[in-house]
A and B are shown apart, each in its own frame.
Chain A
Amino acid sequence: MSTTTTGPMGYDEALEAYEPVLGLETHVELGTASKMFCGCSTTFGGEPNTQVCPVCLGLPGALPVANAAAIEYTIKIGLALNCSIAEWCRFARKNYFYPDMPKNFQISQYDEPLCFDGYLDVEIDGRTVRVEIERVHLEEDTGKSLHVGGSTGRIHGADYSLVDYNRAGIPLVEIVTKPIVGTDRLAPEVARAYVTELRELVRAIGASDVRMEEGSLRCDVNVSLMPRGSSEWGTRSETKNVNSLRSVERAVRSEISRQAGVLAAGGRVVQETRHFHEDTGETTSGRSKEEAQDYRYFPEPDLVPIAPDRAWVDRLRTELPEPPSVRRRRLQAEWGLSDLDMAAMHNAGAIELVEATIAAGAPAADARKWWMGELARRANEQAVELVELPVTPAQVARVAQLVASGSLNDKLARQVLEGVLAGEGEPDKVVEARGLAIVSDDGALGDVVDQVIADNPDVADKIRGGKVAAAGALVGAVMKATRGQADAGRARELILERLGVS
């Protein structure tokens, strides 16, 4: 009996019957100026095959020389993850043929990783989950293939393929967790929280810009299920290259439902790699691991072993930045937020954005309000991460500033943000192009006020008679006449002034 074609099981039902075991392998492209083994630039987005040389093209005779900065970053990441740092370790060759790999082997590490046996604590719903780290090692990235023609976008069935080697040889750190057990129904959230925390930690170290949308942080998600009451792990699937925090969570959830459906129908989960599809939120089968390749690892003879000096490692430890969780507690106190609010910001990936917005001149409350309100709503609508929205903290800070100075009210500010998100330019340009500035100039506003008083003699009389509260109706009329662009406070002042009750 092999796999069955039954559909996925509902998530709650799946969790009643099975317990998930997770494993996460995260690849982080390091932000070094040059590649792992040559002097080529690592800048993202260059014209194809313009950032290459004999070494990263694997030309006959070319040799690798290890990038010291990449080794330093890797050790820092390892230290931040509470790992032990190897006293002596080597690079290894992982041999397999693929056109985007110039040498047809990848320089990686095998049984001697640079960092090992660490952990990372993540917080979910006020509960701390310790994710144990198996290893952190250093390797080189491959090139990027573009398969043209065919229906799948994969090499099989393509008419032809193009390869860009700009990315070949960019330093890549792989962080592998030990199996994560006991997360129960929180498994998807734990997976997401782990990657979020890891991303913040790597960013805080300055080792990478960790932009998932550019592929500088990629995640392989391993999931297996074991029946409740059993202690024997099931067969796992490996969902490759999941490239957003939201997708990490969805991929785990989807795999739990899918595997539960297979198992409940008496089928067996196949050990294989799977691909996650953003549009459907589901995974589909890739390469079967049961016909797994033999990578014929052996120590890389072109490179010398790495033997990090203990004093150097100790110095790197002292240079580590404030851990993200400690930093969050500090910011929470500074911003005066509840645990719940802070957790919500953390989960939304808003902390850095808010912090940067404050740094750009916005008051804390405003920065938080915009990111967690209007912008979070829009991100949610578009099913993207906050950081992926095409708006910068500086632009949000400018909008907040325009509101504070009275040039915009909240309603107009939302329209300005809409314009910025639509690519209409900087906030000031949007204000001008869309004619969104508040009408606060007394001349223009005075004319409207006079007109409104003339149109509403009854209300005006009441106010003259001392019923100042009735002014609200006239303010409303002014706002209506100006299609919301008036400064409501100034309109009220003018009305009361005109009617002699100020």
Chain B
Amino acid sequence: MSSDLTRKSAAQLGELIASGETSAVEVAQAHLDRIAAVDPEIKAFLHVNADGALEQARAVDARRAAGEELGPLAGVPIAHKDVFTTRDQPTTCGSRILEGWRPPYDATVTARLRAAGLVILGKTNMDEFAMGSSTENSAYGVTHNPWDPSRVPGGSSGGSSAAVAAYMAPLSTGTDTGGSIRQPAAVTGIVGTKPTYGGSSRYGVVAFASSLDSPGPFGRTVLDTALLHEAFAGHDPMDATSIDAPVPPVVEAARRADVDGLRVGVVREFGGEGYQAGVEQRFRETVELLESLGAKVTEVSCPHFAYALPAYYLIAPSEVSSNLARFDAMRYGLRLGDDGTRSAEEVMSLTREAGFGAEVKRRIMLGTFALSSGYYDAYYGQAQKVRTLINRDFDAAFEQVDVLVSPTTPTTAFPIGERADDPMAMYLADLCTIPSDLSGNAAISVPCGLSPEDGLPVGFQIMAPPLADDRLYRVGAAVEAAFTDRWGGPLLDTAPELGGAR
């Protein structure tokens, strides 16, 4: 019974709980059991909130018993990325510098999850301050890919992708700054959306790069992902960059799942050298599938996407160097060397030295340099110009087509340790995802099969103009339905059983 519940979709669980066929407590317990069984191997969670989760589940059951109408996700468990502040659980961002920090406030996304009755199982592992594509930069150890535990689950939201792919939660949250939702979704065979920038609130998201960070949902199905998207997206007066507009009709679009007559543009620049053959093969098959479903496919050129990666690695670190300045051992988090003999500056310096990992330090230094007087125009200023050119490429493309498509990431999940000492190789994992972050538009990754050479999942990326997030779900759901038909079930059904299961 327990393991059955963990195999259900969020939409199904919501219906079972609302109808009283099962209780939220049963559902929560089933997932907590699953976590106890498989997380020692996967290590997706930094903190499991068993008592709190059961309490939240009991509250949902009580509301139902009192005759209250429950929302579609009430009582459904969720794994929450450790970048979101939570009043009742620690928030570390995968960093030693925030070890044990208990925020005095909930992020807007956290508060909306609670309001929707979602049961927060715990906080998931991530690359430190969301900087990375593998979770190897976490101060608390690496998370393993449920398809092959010797491989990475992607990153930075790798704990969240692994938790969903390993059936420890039907849903999870992530943040996407350079691909941190779509890339882990792709390499674990699940669905992940980066909403339009400003479409979901950043209030209470510990900042990585303010002009890029986009909180978004993970799910095993396109509909589940849309339900979660709808539950926490939308305008937030606490975030000045939040867009004051209704959430696009994402759930309706996921149910509609039709691409007839839709104009689909294949980005010419994303392919060729550096792309795994099996990834390109599955991508081409998916494009053909869309054509067979009635979509009009054309090739589109976005010449400036080639400069997206270097521009990103100037803009994001610049913002990092400023955003992470607040970790100074004064008010919260780690404090080292405060023995009465050292000055505030020495304590701050010792704490930052020990509290930040290598990648975080690398980016703080890059950003500090890029913003320095005399270098600003050549680096930060120039990168902003590239950003404008990328926006123009998107604008021009979206005049011709309704959505753009590409592989989500050039390769399947790479082995743990393979790129850990090679930042440039690591950065290439986000090659196809970064343009959407720089322009602030919406993008999704949906599974499109296993790469023949390694049997690992491949992600298909769909990009839409700002506030046209619903198109992602229309196309994503159509692809999902057709492939499920072709494969005789969801892709994840073909994943190997984990050691502790059943």
Binding site for B on A (CB under 8 A): 54, 57-66, 93, 95, 97, 99, 102-105, 155, 161, 163, 294, 296-298, 301-304
Knowing A59-B105, A104-B326 are in contact, say whether A294-B372 is a contact too (CB < 8 A): yes
The contact string, 1 if C-beta is below 8 Å from chain A, for chain B 100-113, is 01011101000000
Contacts A95-B322, A294-B373 known; A104 to B240 CB distance under 8 Å?
no
Chain B residue contacts of A304, Cβ below 8 A:
240-241
Nearest CB on A from B219, distance (A): 24
Q: Mark B323-339, 1 if CB is under 8 A from A, else 0.
A: 00111101110000000
Residues of A close to B373: CB separation below 8 A:
294, 296
Chain B positions within 8 Å of A, measured between CB atoms, are 84-85, 91, 93, 98, 101, 103-105, 107, 202-207, 209-211, 237-241, 318-319, 321-322, 325-328, 330-332, 344-345, 348, 368, 371-373, 376, 380
- CA of A301 to CA of B319 in the docked complex: distance in angstroms? 8
Closest 5 CB pairs of A and B: A104-B325, A301-B210, A301-B211, A296-B371, A60-B206
Check if A296 sits within 8 Å of B372, measured CB to CB: yes
| Closest-CB distance, A291 to chain B (whole angstroms) | 14
B170: min CB distance to chain A, Å: 26
Closest residue of chain B to A160, judged by CB? B340
Given A54, A63, A298, which contacts B240 in the complex, CB threshold below 8 Å? A63
Which residues of chain B come closer than 8 Å to A302, judged between CB atoms?
207, 210, 240-241
User: What is the CA–CA distance of A397 and B326 in the complex, to the nearest angstrom?
Assistant: 52
Give the complex CA separation of A501 and B433 in angstroms. Answer: 111
A294 to B371, CA, bound (A): 9
Q: Which residues does chain B contribute within 8 Å of A294, judged by CB atoms? A: 372-373
Using A62-B105, A95-B321, A97-B328 as known contacts, list a sample of 8 further A-B pairs with CB atoms less than 8 Å apart, ordered by residue number in A: A59-B105, A59-B332, A103-B326, A298-B322, A298-B380, A301-B209, A301-B319, A302-B207
Q: Is the CB of A59 within 8 A of B104?
A: yes
How many Å lie between the Cα of A63 and that of B211 in the bound state?
12
CA distance A426 to B325 in the complex (A): 52
- The contact sample of 15 A-B pairs, CB cut-off 8 A, is A54-B104, A60-B98, A60-B327, A61-B84, A63-B202, A63-B203, A63-B238, A64-B240, A97-B348, A296-B368, A296-B372, A296-B376, A298-B318, A302-B210, A303-B240
Instruction: Give bound CA distance, A304 to B205, whole Å.
Output: 18
Which chain B residue has the least Cβ–Cβ distance from A303? B240
In the assembled complex, the CB of B201 is this many whole angstroms from the nearest CB of chain A, namely: 9
CA gap between A358 and B327 in the complex, in Å:
55
Alpha-carbon distance between A104 and B327 when the two chains are bound, in angstroms: 9
Contacts of A59 in B (CB 8 A): 85, 103-105, 331-332
Instruction: Name the prevailing secondary structure of the A interface residues.
Output: loop
Please give the distance in Å from B495's CB to the nearest CB on chain A: 34
Which residues of B are found within 8 Å of A155, using beta-carbon distances? 344
| Set of chain A residues within 8 Å of B101, measured between Cβ atoms | 60
Residues of chain B lying within 8 A (CB to CB) of residue A63: 202-203, 238-240
**Contact: B325 with A105, CB < 8 Å?**
yes
**Contact with A61, one of B204, B327, B371 (Cβ below 8 angstroms):** B204
* Cβ contacts under 8 Å, A66 to chain B: 240
Chain B residues within an 8 Å CB radius of A62: 105, 203-204
Complex alpha-carbon distance, A297 and B373, angstroms: 9
A66 to B240, CA, bound (A): 8
Please, which residues of chain A bring their CB within 8 A of the CB of B368? 296
> B371, A95: Cβ atoms under 8 Å?
yes
Q: How far is the CA of A298 from the CA of B332 in the complex (A)?
A: 26
- Chain B residue nearest to A65 (CB atoms) is B240
Q: How far is the CB of A41 from chain B (nearest CB, A)?
A: 18
Interfacial chain A residues near B207, Cβ < 8 Å: 60-61, 302
* Chain A residue at minimum C-beta to C-beta distance from B344: A99
Closest to B315 in A: A301
Taken together as a complex, chains A and B put the C-alpha atoms of A65 and B204 apart, in Å, by 13
List B contacts of A64 (CB < 8 A).
240
CA distance A494 to B378 in the complex (A): 95
Alpha-carbon gap, A59 to B84, bound state (A): 12
Kindly list chain A residues whose C-beta atoms are within 8 Å of the C-beta of B345. 97
Residues of A within 8 A of B105 (CB): 54, 59, 61-62
| B240 lies within 8 A of A60 (CB) | no
| Complex interface: chain A residues within 8 A of B91 (CB) | 60-61
Min CB distance B238 to A, Å, is: 6
By a CB distance below 8 angstroms, the chain A residues around B203 are 61-63
Q: A63-B203, A103-B326, A296-B372 are in contact. Are A57 and B241 (CB under 8 A)?
A: no
Bound-state CA distance A246–B80 (Å) is: 59
Chain A residue contacts of B205, Cβ below 8 A: 61
Given contacts A63-B240, A303-B240, contact A104 B328 (CB under 8 A): yes
Return the chain B residue nearest A165 by Cβ.
Answer: B331
B206 lies within 8 A of A97 (CB): no
B416 to A: closest C-beta gap in Å? 28
